[in-house]
Chain A
Amino acid sequence: GAVVSQHPSRVICKSGTSVKIECRSLDFQATTMFWYRQFPKQSLMLMATSNEGSKATYEQGVEKDKFLINHASLTLSTLTVTSAHPEDSSFYICSARDITGYEQYFGPGTRLTVT
């Protein structure tokens, strides 16, 4: 089946530093990848949609300069949280949609803690 990986699974960083999270589709090509954020005991909120080779589309209220998304290939998208602050601490989940269907395959998530 379709597998999506995320790296790292957990990261702790200091306030003011930047953190990069990778999302890879392991056995299929993903023309579209999505990034979600989930705060404790809350639902998933879509942050942005990225299409391979083009700029990401950000949801309202998401700072594009803070959350940099790059979708450089059909199997890799990265989310960089720049100048992280404690309020950026969250569970970040990516998903990938293949070119054949409407189903999204989710990665295992990355738990970011900013101290």
Chain B
Amino acid sequence: AQKVTQAQTEISVVEKEDVTLDCVYETRDTTYYLFWYKQPPSGELVFLIRRNSFDEQNEISGRYSWNFQKSTSSFNFTITASQVVDSAVYFCALSEVKAAGNKLTFGGGTRVLVKP
């Protein structure tokens, strides 16, 4: 069975600090997708990134960057120069590629609080 662990339940930083969110996953499949979502106080999930298991290239998008390490089954997320608007709950998720469903398994989430 697949599992996603986000060990940090809450992180508090001061604006402009960098913050790294850890994500460790377990799966028996060789083909899978990893995701990060942001959930602001409004509740709506905001898609941030999707990465497939064959692409270990790190990615940068503005102040966001992701480090995928297949050897350690980790897919960590860093926010550089954090801003108050980054305050939200962030979820890492895993989807196995199967014939039907491709359902997502979510980690427990990490609440990020950015203080001005």
Contact = CB atoms under 8 A, between A and B. Distances in A.
B72 to A, nearest CB: 22
Nearest to B92: A43
Interface string B96-116: 010011111111110100000
B104 A46 contact: yes
Interface of B: prevailing SS? loop
Most buried by A among B101, B103, B105: B103
B100 A44 contact: no
Interface string B22-54: 000000000001000100001111010010000
Interface of A: prevailing SS? strand
Interface residues of B, number: 22
A28 interface: no
A108 B104 CA distance: 17
Interface in A84-108: 91, 93, 95, 97, 102-108
A104 B33 CA distance: 11
Contacts of B97: 102
B37 to A, nearest CB: 8
Nearest to B109: A43
B91 interface: yes
Contact of B50 (A45, A97, A102, A107): A102
A42 to B, nearest CB: 8
Interface string A3-37: 00000000000000000000000000000101000
Given A93-B45, A102-B33, A111-B43, A44 B91 contact: yes
Nearest to B101: A49
Contacts of B33: 102
Interface string A40-75: 011111100101000001000000000000000000
Given A104-B102, A109-B44, 17 more contacts: A32-B102, A43-B107, A44-B104, A46-B103, A49-B101, A49-B103, A51-B100, A91-B43, A102-B33, A102-B50, A102-B95, A102-B97, A105-B47, A106-B44, A106-B45, A106-B47, A108-B42
